[in-house]
Structure 1
């Protein structure tokens, strides 16, 4: 089983924070603190805590920022990240992002949206079901 993060959308409702970053990289900690966690940080930490070793992230809007941080995120969370491009992120919705990541679905996934934050207990509950 792998983690799958849908993080291709522009996050228009999060502007001005998403003017230069994808929504998954919007900081969610106290403003002004160096290295404050992002939405993606919290999701990857949850996935690592439940024992996942691989995560696919569907990227689109401002994807270069995720590519630039890929190695650091892998090292920080001990995960192998596969970045999958959604070339129609501005035109289509999450259904197309799932289509882009369809090859990752064959081994089973725990799905997370790139713009939501929740405690690791959510993943633990899903795995226990």
Structure 2
């Protein structure tokens, strides 16, 4: 979550404030560059430059979110509109790569807490 937070804003550090992407780079990361059937994941995906985009294979917080799910249930993303960065890892490995139900339950809870679940 801290990595994704540093992509969309400043993150406090003991000695400095850091931001990894300037706003223009953030826009490139979340602008759709490709979409369609993914030959590796065997599902339809959408990608910006280096990151998956919100969609059925990778449901993040909102359409402007970008990040990536991981094998076994992990999920990380940033949502520039809300300023939310999200990271979830698990030691309960599942065979899925995308849309793990455990991570998605947490994403729904974040949406609800923000009042954006409608």
TM-score normalised per structure 2: 0.28
Q: Which has the higher helix share?
A: 1
Normalised by the length of structure 1, the TM-score is 0.27
Larger RCO, structures 1/2 (Cα 8 Å, 6+ apart): 1
- Greater strand share, 1 or 2? 2
